[in-house]
Amino acid sequence: MPDKIIRICLLYQAPNGRRRRRPPSPAQEQKSFASFLQKRRCLFFEKKKQKTFALLVAIACGPAVADPVQHDFVIAHFTTEGGAVLPQARVVYGTYGTLNAARDNAIVLPSHFMADMHGYEWLIGPGHALDPSKLFLITTEEFGNGRSSSPSNTAAPFHGPHFPPMTIRDNVNAVHRMLLEQWHIAHLRAVIGFSMGAQQAFQWAVSYPGFIDRIVATSGTAKTYGHGIVRLESQIAALTLDPAFQHGDYTTEPTAGIRATSLVWLGWLYSQEWWRRELWKTEHKPGTTLQQAIDQETAEFFAGADANDLILQMHTWESNDVGATPGFHGDAEAALRSINIPVLYMPSATDLYFPLADAQYEAGFIKHVTLLPIPSLWGHPAGAGASPADEAFLNTHIAAFLGASQ
């Protein structure tokens, strides 16, 4: 083993926001830094001096960020965009850092699909773009994630399949109220979002144009187009075909349906080249076959999730359209033209959920946009730092974009 060896341990964040439970094997711990770049696990590598390497070391070796402080915000008689009135709507969220006396150091990071408040730890802490010693970071949890108000935790008459549809605007509007009423925050430094969080970031820029300085959107678009709707509907169909689903009034979780929708999800998650190069091997112990990897991923991906919660968030995702914001009459292009703040738009170059071409199309209507694709084979989760190279790319450019406002 080389003389100058540094041991680095990282907690891998799964693409759906939950931590993976698989520990590294002893064999994996002996891999080179090249393997570490793919695995995000406890690995050894030889110290280098190059600047790029130094940045990756800073990201990996910095002290672990402290857990966020959990908060709840309850809205009585919350009226959804569709007209339903929930007796109580609960928003669960976390905070990192301290709100300053001027209340002007806050950044909102809205959650992605089925994620909790820990979903942005690839962007927070020493060596990362967001420093909680200087910023007040608010990581919100979407309706339907099983913690904020969801089909699985709401009493009759809005329980299970009777829970009303929720839009991206419903989520944004609820968080806007939380900021004003619970924290008396009248302005945000930024909104930064991945995937469904990116959808929310665009909606913030359209719905509350004077409330934020700038937005960052990674692996997500301002509207879900037909191709994405077909994908989501195929996943819903895979889930609901399980006889145990019982039209949503199940007494036991339809685990076969959840596993089937996970398989559909997995087929779209990474790029075709990621599969062709067999990069899935970097996520599994040596000797694992492709079928074993698929079985393990589909078993773990939505483990513990509630079927009605999954379906609610899929419907939220597929209904997303900034053009449906009041005043724009379904014109997404006009809504995008209305954005007057700087936008850092970072699609993954190989995303199958939100294709690069869709981001390029939308960027043509945004006045102050920097379109910066993430050069990655990791598909959709590249926008959440799926590999350390992705993480370094995101942190470098997001930090520079935020620094430009100082």
Instruction: State pLDDT tens for residues 98-153.
Output: 999 999 999 999 999 999 999 999 999 998 999 999 999 999 999 999 999 999 99
Cβ neighbours of 375 (radius 10 Å):
12
pLDDT, greater one: 5 or 142 = 142
Nearest-angstrom CA–CA distance, 289 and 49: 37
**pLDDT at 158 exceeding the cut of 70:** yes
Residues with Cβ within 8 Å of residue 40, at least 6 apart in sequence: 10, 12, 387, 388
Nearest-angstrom CA–CA distance, 322 and 194: 16
pLDDT for the residue 405: 54
pLDDT digits (tens, 9 = 90+) for 358-377: 999 999 999 999 999 999 99
3-state secondary structure of 137: strand
pLDDT digits (tens, 9 = 90+) for 219-229: 999 999 999 99
pTM: 0.86
Nearest-angstrom CA–CA distance, 44 and 2: 10
pLDDT digits (tens, 9 = 90+) for 85-102: 999 999 999 999 999 999
Which pair of tokens denotes residue 10?
């990282």
pLDDT for the residue 65: 75
Nearest-angstrom CA–CA distance, 43 and 124: 21
* Mean pLDDT along residues 339-365: 98
8 Å CB contact between 279 and 38: yes
Which pair of tokens denotes residue 201?
């970031």
As annotated, the active-site residues are 195, 351, 380
Question: Domains of the chain (ranges plus CATH)?
Answer: 5-61 (no CATH), 69-227+315-403 (3.40.50.1820)
Amino acid at 268: W
